[in-house]
Amino acid sequence: MAQYDYDLFTIGAGSGGVRASRVSASYGATVAVAEERYLGGTCVNVGCIPKKLLVYAAHFSDDFEDAAAYGWTVGERRVDWAKLIANKNTEIRRLNEIYRKLLQDSGVTIFESHAEVIDPHTVVVDGKTITAKYILIAVGGWPSVPEFPGSEHAITSNEVFFLPALPRKMIIVGGGYIGVELACIFHGLGVEVTQLYWEALFLRGFDDDCRKSLAVEMGKKGIDLRFNADIEKIEKRGAALHATLNAGTTIEADLILYATGRVPNTNSLGLDNVDVQIKPGGAVVVDDYSKTHVDSIYAIGDCTDRMMLTPVAIAEGRAVAETLFNNNPMKPNYLNVPSVVFSNPNLGTVGLTEAQARERYRDIDIYKTTFKPLKHTLTGRDERTMMKIIVDHATDKVLGCHMVGPDAGEIIQGLAVAMNCGSTKAQFDATIGIHPTAAEEFVTMRVAVQPPM
């Protein structure tokens, strides 16, 4: 008779939890997963996928305007928000069922309910006590709104994907990638957008040239960016919301959205029952192999507050499965993880920022270019693309690649492969570009714009 009901019990069926569960099952483990909200987690339901669909929708406003320069006559146009959301919801339901089928076809038992840990090998689901050799916490994060007078009138990114109608005027508070992306999305859909951030420049942690370039481009498009600004109180007057800022000014809006961070969704898991260490913000403390200080309990994804990206959670999930059930101890690789902000234009990045490189290396070379995309030589649109390469002067190794411009994510993905192969600037230079493309600029920058420092 088996000592436990399952070899692995996963709490959370987001991207990381599903990957860990499926791979573990493929190695012969008996696996169950509990999900109390929706299969696919944040990414599928209120994150990456619906956001990218809205990004596509928002781009049509520019495309319609640019079409005239290419001989097209475009008639009257308007956004049918209800239709867009209905189509988005249909796609999300399809993906939910794909996740369900993936788990079922892998032999994973699904509990669509809340799970709570009561000891190192036991969880309670729907009043049932279930034992497992290992427990994996993969519950992700949840958006939060700070408490201040009137904060109950603000919404988060969770609700924004289900709005009954487009607002006329909107305030977005926060300067992370979610706030920036939503500002560009709603501006592209015709909403008058004001974005507030309490520091001097948004997207902290990204390369400074990228941050500055994107701020300029968003400003050109008409987004009202206000830095060193924050809301002190919100008052509801009829149907309108009035936000009083720290400078004493007041802005009226139909909708106020807070994108000021996400917190690990660990409050109601019963982790205090097993003394799993939790950071002050709620993140689960884990080692390099995603193990908590309780040997039978592991944690991956956003609830560990390491690198909050869906592909990273997936890599962490696979590493746990390899470690536990394939006799192949594996650490996730956080080196040269590419990422993109789906703003308009995109911001793509991989490797070190200039500031990080200057901290870690004695001398670095900076290669940078800005140019008008070929498309806009006909449209006349005042938009500039920025590209940047950071190189270790001593070894010629490429340390970072950064871009603000159309399709930055598609371009940076390939550069991430090159960087993980240890590419040098000389190898970039020896690569023949595809002409005419924006991407070829990454292999044609020959002269450093800044000498070693």
Closest CA to 354 of 215, 214, 209, 202: 209
Given phi > 0 = left and psi -120 to 50 = alpha, else beta, which region is 384?
A: beta
CA distance 234 to 214: 29
Where is 231: in which H helix or E strand? strand 231-237
Structure tokens at 373: 């995309």
Q: Supply the angle between the helices 177-188 and 48-67 in degrees, to the nearest 10.
A: 40
Contacts of 448 (CB under 8 A, 6+ apart): 365, 366, 367, 391
* Interior/surface letters 58-93, b for 16+ CB within 10 angstroms, e for the rest: bbebbeeebeeeeeeeeeeeebebeebbeebeeebe
How far, CA to CA in Å, does 288 sit from each of 170, 323, 332?
Answer: 42, 11, 8
Sheet containing strand 231-237, strands side by side:
231-237, 240-245, 250-253
Closest CA to 36 of 128, 126, 112: 112
Could you give the 3-state DSSP secondary structure of residue 52? Answer: helix
CA distance 383 to 3: 64
| DSSP secondary structure, 276-344, as one string | --B-TTSPBP--TTSB-SSTTEEE-GGGGTS---HHHHHHHHHHHHHHHHSS-------TT--EEE--S
Where is 208: in which H helix or E strand? helix 208-221
Active site residue 435: yes
Evaluate whether 116 touches 128 at the Cβ level (below 8 Å): no
CA distance 240 to 252: 7
Residues with catalytic function: 435
